[in-house]
Amino acid sequence: MTAEIIDGKALSFELKEKMKQEVADLKTVGIHPQLTVVLVGDHPASRSYVNGKKKACDETGIGSRIIELPKTVSESELLAHIHTLNNDPQVHGILVQLPLPDHISEQMVIETISPEKDVDGFHPVSIGRMMTGMDTFLSCTPYGIITMLRSKNIPIEGKHAVVIGRSNIVGKPVAQLLINEDATVTTCHSKTKHLHQYTQTADILVVAVGKAHAIDASYIKEGATVIDVGINRLEDGSLTGDVDFQSVKEKAAYLTPVPRGVGPMTITMLLKNTIKAAKGLENREG
């Protein structure tokens, strides 16, 4: 068996083509979707992510603006910027690029963004609505993962899904979304003992541990679907995932690569959330 590759970059392109038309249609009725990204400091990785988001907005016709603030900005000044954006009817989505300097509370910033403009899906209101199966903005990476599974018609209902990782950004929300899709979900993490005994029973395995090649074929059930969320830079500068791609591809039925896997889908779902915000609360789609 050689795994079928779930190409996130190709799926992202396909979805953005549909969004392009959706945005054009909205503009004909006077709605111009707009995303504002706040960048604090000049962290190279953060700047790269922000530029990627702007490029994706440009490709789909979504308006975008980057507000750049020095790393010395006070928490109160940053929150004041967010309040201004909350009250600006022309801004549909607000994203504050993480991480933030140590003197600023990330949680305070997340909670200050209006839930109606929380296109990252991090606000406690968004998380609470997701937990209870209500319509909301879904966290972008988990949303992308579910979209990738659906794109290949991979059954989720009744399947055993194992998530390795319990971060607020990926692990916890993707576990909940899988539960919402009627999977039976096990969450594993750094304190889990005998990890193999859980992963070897997984029909769907989501790996988000942040360690290159942490999971090899010995962890995988024959015919499983393996979603690799990790992005690790090796000494030679190349990118690789948390999964040992070469060994796992001979055992899994479906596998996401790194790069070209989950990464491109994260930004794509951010665009989808921004369009959803532009349509307004009463017209939001699941």
Q: Are 276 and 137 in contact (CB under 8 A)?
A: yes
The whole-number pLDDT of residue 282 equals: 40
> In percent, how much of the chain has pLDDT > 90?
95
Report how far residue 137's alpha carbon sits from residue 148's, in angstroms, rounded to the nearest whole number: 17
- Which domains are assigned to the chain? 29-114 (3.40.50.10860), 140-263 (3.40.50.720)
Q: Are 203 and 160 in contact (CB under 8 A)?
A: yes
Q: What is the dihedral of CA 12, 14, 19, 22, to 10 degrees?
A: -170
Report how far residue 113's alpha carbon sits from residue 129's, in angstroms, rounded to the nearest whole number: 16
In this model, does residue 165 exceed pLDDT 60?
A: yes
User: Cis before residue 99, ω within 30 degrees of 0?
Assistant: yes
Task: Classify burial at 237, counting beta carbons within 10 Å of its beta carbon; exposed 0-12, middle 13-18, buried 19 or more.
Answer: exposed
Is 231 known to sit in a ligand binding site? yes
Instruction: Name the region of 198 (left: φ>0; alpha: ψ -120 to 50; beta: rest).
Output: alpha
How much of the chain is in helix, strand and coil states, percent to nearest 5? Answer: 45, 15, 40
In this model, does residue 286 exceed pLDDT 60?
A: no
In this model, does residue 168 exceed pLDDT 60?
A: yes
| Residue in the block written with tokens 């005998």 | 194
Which residues are catalytic, by number?
A: 53, 97, 120
pLDDT-based confidence at residue 45 (cuts at 50, 70, 90): confident
The whole-number pLDDT of residue 280 equals: 87
Instruction: Name residue 25's amino acid.
Output: D
User: Cis before residue 259, ω within 30 degrees of 0?
Assistant: yes
pLDDT of 26-35, one tens digit each? 999 999 999 9
Lowest mean pLDDT among 11-20, 59-68, 247-256, 276-285: 276-285
pLDDT of 177-219, one tens digit each? 999 999 999 999 999 999 999 999 999 999 999 999 999 999 9
The whole-number pLDDT of residue 1 equals: 75
Is 165 known to sit in a ligand binding site? yes
The whole-number pLDDT of residue 283 equals: 47
The whole-number pLDDT of residue 115 equals: 97
Instruction: Name residue 121's amino acid.
Output: G
The whole-number pLDDT of residue 249 equals: 97
Grouping H, G, I as helix, E, B as strand and the rest as coil, residue 161 is strand
The whole-number pLDDT of residue 14 equals: 98
pTM of the shown model:
0.94
Q: Are 57 and 29 in contact (CB under 8 A)?
A: no
